[in-house]
Structure 1
Amino acid sequence: MAVFTPVSDSDARKLLARYDLGELVSLRGITAGIENTNYFLNTTTGEYVLTLFEVLTLEQLPFYIELMHHLAARGIPVPQPQALRGGGLITVVHDKPSTIVTRLSGGYEPAPSVAHCALTGDTLARAHLAGQGFSIRQPNLRGLQWWRETAPHVRPFLEPDQAALLDTALQEQIRFASTPTYRALPGGPGHCDLFRDNVLFDGTFEMPRMGGIIDFYFAGCDTWLFDLAVGVNDWCVDLATGVFDVSRLDAWLHAYTQVRPFTAEEIEAWPVMLRGAALRFWISRLYDFYLPRPAQTLKPHDPRHFERILRERFKAPVRALQN
């Protein structure tokens, strides 16, 4: 969530004329992230988030917007897209497809506890089940095909040992995707980017309450296990080393499986899926670091973090999934 496209107060007032959301009170750019332009948009009727999509096309957007609408209608705490006066949930600002959604209460927890992990695991499982009836199908656009296409662009920037790691991990995922085990994995719409800064909490640190899941704009149809692996690779690790914190990992997995038990194929696939989730974000962070797009407030993440996690997932035994 960076600011690639400037939006002025005057622009915001013209935009609000298309909605029944009251008058502009304030507009403030959100500097975190790297994919879309985002602003906190406060009006006389409430607090919202304005998003201008820098990569996703108008044709791709209905999946994300309608998915949030679908989940919210089924009690999952996610931002609610706002309807235009003439109908529809998507408009255009500065030639960019755009939307306004409700701003959820709470804030993200940079150092999550066991309680935060349990709440998130439970909510993710409920979101997976709630998404089963969603009718729009769109693949995870940052899935295996994107890894294969992007890896050659970042490989020239790597040292020989890094290039070898990239090649080994990518070939493992290509082989795994052709196996009966992979094909048997359950799946559907997933968040696919469930990092700790994409979940909000109310309450106190000792007694948190789920505020909601935000930023669905990397969502796609994938295996639920991949979505789970993305989450625990961020929430349940020591950030300096990539090593799992067992108490946080157990809390997340236990809470998830109380809602949706794992299949035999998921239990078998867990180690390779954790490596796939680490590979996905190592590749994307390498790309954003070495081949960035211009932005006013761009803060690319250090790709070495997910390199460490990927190496750790290859060398250390992975805690087995259990129901």
Structure 2
Amino acid sequence: MAVYTKVSLKEAKALLRQLDLGDTTALRGIEGGIENTNYFATTESGEYVLTLFERLSFEQLPYYLQLMKHLAQRGIPVPNPMGNKAGNILHTVKKKPASVVSKLRGKSELAPEVAHCAAVGDMLARMHLAGRDFDMQQPNLRGLAWWNETTPVVLPHLEPAQAQLLQSELAYQNHIAESSAYAALPQGAIHADLFRDNVMFETVDGQPKLSGFFDFYFAGTDTWLFDLAVCLNDWCIDLATGANDAARCDAFLAAYSAVRPLTAAERQLLPAMLRAGALRFWISRLWDFHLPREAAMLKAHDPSHFERVLRERVAHPITP
């Protein structure tokens, strides 16, 4: 959500008028994130998010946008892509693919408690089930194939102990992916990046209420267990050390399983998938940190955080 491409208020006005959203009165760049250019747009009809996609192609984007619309139609609180009179929800700004989606209410909870984790676990399971009849397919573009391709690029930037950990864990994940237990894991559309800052909460009668999931632009078809592991690695850890927070983890797993019970294969491979989730984000943060792109607003994430999480997951496996 950095700003790589400048968009003027005049340019935004032209697009949002085509979407019958009224006159645009304000446009503000969103700082944070590293993949796309994002703006908050205020119009006569409400608040929206304008996104210009810096890496994803016109061919890749229908999967993400149609997935959001599919989920929204099934009661999952996600941003709703806005279409023009022809029904098109993929647009063009500055010769780049773009979308306009409804802005969710509430705010992110960056210091989640047990209640927040339970709410996310519940909704994640509901999202997985709601996506079962989504008929589009697209691989997880930051999955195992990408890890194998990217690791040689980042290895020269690592200390010997880091390089050894990265290579050994990658070998382990390739081994897991070839196992019969892995082949038995249920699959479907996953978010793949459902961190604390990609979920919104409102306060209702003094209690937190989940008001939405957003930023689906890493979504793909993959195992539901990997999606769950990515969440546990962010929502249910101590950020300073990467250590598991048992109370939050138990609440998250219990709420998820109450909606969609885990299979035997999923229970068996949860420790491995927690390691996989940590590895995925360690590699991507190493890549973004050591091989950055220019941006008007950009804060690169610290790669060492997910190195710590990975070491914790290796040393202290969690079994449901």
TM over 0.5: yes
SS at 1:124's partner residue?
Answer: helix
Say if 1:205 and 1:223 are closer, same or farther in 2 by CA, change over 3 A. farther
Aligned to 1:190: 190
Q: What do the CA deviations read for 1:62-113 (whole angstroms, capped 9, x no partner)?
A: 0000000000000000000001123210110001100100001000001001
Q: So what's the TM-score if we normalise by structure 1? A: 0.98
Aligned equivalents of 2:63, 2:282: Cα separation in 1: 25
TM-score after normalising by structure 2:
0.99
Shift of residue 153 of structure 1? 0.5
Which residue number corresponds to residue 255 of structure 1? 255
Aligned to 2:234: 234
Instruction: Quote how far apart the aligned CAs of 1:317 are.
Output: 3.4
Q: Secondary structure at the match of 1:133?
A: coil
Partner of 1:284: 284
**1:3 has 2:12 as partner:** no
**Within 2, Cα distance between the matches of 1:222 and 1:197?**
22
Does residue 211 of structure 1 match 2:211?
yes
Aligned to 1:273: 273
**Cross-structure match for 1:42:** 42
Any residues of structure 2 matched to 1:49-198 within 5 Å, and which? 49-198=49-198
Amino acid at match of 2:288: D
- Determine the structure 2 residue equivalent to 1:303: 303
- Superposed CA offset, 1:150-205 (max 9, x none): 00000000000000000011000001101100000001000000100000000069
Measured in 1, the distance between the counterparts of 2:296 and 2:311 equals 33
- Equivalent-residue separation in structure 1 for 2:37 and 2:106 (angstroms): 21
2:251 maps to 1:243: no
- 2:316 corresponds to: 316
> What CA distance in whole angstroms lies between the structure 2 residues aligned with 1:51 and 1:126?
26
Q: Residue type matched to 1:71 in 2?
A: L
Aligned to 1:21: 21
Is it true that 1:32 corresponds to 2:37 in the alignment?
no
Q: How big is each residue's C-alpha offset from its partner over 1:191-229, in whole Å with a ceiling of 9 and x where there is no partner?
A: 000100000000069610011000000000000000000
Instruction: Please identify, of 201-210 and 184-193, the stretch whose mean Cα deviation from structure 2 is larger.
Output: 201-210
Computed over aligned residues only, the root mean square deviation of the Cα atoms, in angstroms, reads 1.0
Amino acid corresponding to residue 239 of structure 1 in structure 2: L
Paired letter, 1:201 = F
- Provide the rounded CA distance (Å) in 2 between the counterparts of 1:75 and 1:45: 22
Give unpaired runs (5+ residues) of structure 1.
Answer: none
Report the alpha carbon displacement of residue 14 of structure 1 after superposing the two structures with TM: 1.6
Match of 1:273, as an amino acid? M
Q: Match for 2:113: what amino acid?
A: S
Residue 69 of structure 1 aligns to a residue whose secondary structure is: helix
Aligned AA (1:105): R
SS of the counterpart of 2:129?
A: helix
Output the amino acid matched with 1:233.
Answer: N
Residue identity (%): 58
Name the counterpart of 1:222: 222
Using the alignment, how far apart are the partners of 1:276 and 1:29 within structure 2?
Answer: 33
Post-superposition CA distance 1:9-65 (Å, at most 9, x none): 111112123210000111001101000000001100011000000011000000000
- For residue 164 of structure 2, what is the amino acid of its counterpart? A
Q: What letter corresponds to residue 40 of structure 2 in structure 1?
A: F
Matches of 1:234 and 1:317, distance apart in 2: 16
3-state DSSP of counterpart to 1:16: helix
How far apart are the structure 2 equivalents of 1:105 and 1:245?
Answer: 28
- How far apart, in 2, do the equivalents of 1:98 and 1:163 lie? 38
Paired residues, number:
320
